[in-house]
Amino acid sequence: MKTLGNLIWLICGGLLSAIEYLLASLLMMITIVGIPFGLQTLKLAGLMLWPFGRRVVDHGGSSGCLSVIMNILWLFLGGLGICLTHLFFGILLCFTLIGIPFGKQHFKLAGLALTPFGKHVV
């Protein structure tokens, strides 16, 4: 069932979200300062391609205030735009009965798009 859900996910905005994360990652890796941002968004691009059956967990404060600073920078460097994309797809998919689980997944990922640092995909 997870495989079928993931295949439908790709059609319901997952592929577009993954491309968005990948482009943001490549743009951020142009500078040395942006490499940590780019690496994190690459992880998220993989999550966007196959989200069902995976979960995101907190590191538990292991990175301290550095993750807070990086999340604030990320918010302005692309996180807000990607979050709005997830919200758009979430609202659009929730208009149909079949799309509600996929819309809920987009809403979960909208929160992750705002603060990805300090999180780990399992």
Higher local confidence (pLDDT), 121 or 63: 121
**Do the Cβ atoms of 90 and 45 come closer than 8 Å?**
no
pLDDT in tens, 46-87: 888 888 888 888 776 556 677 788 888 888 877 888 899 899
**Contact between 6 and 83 (Cβ < 8 Å):** no
Q: What is the pTM of this model?
A: 0.81
Q: What are phi and psi of 15, to 5 degrees?
A: -65, -45
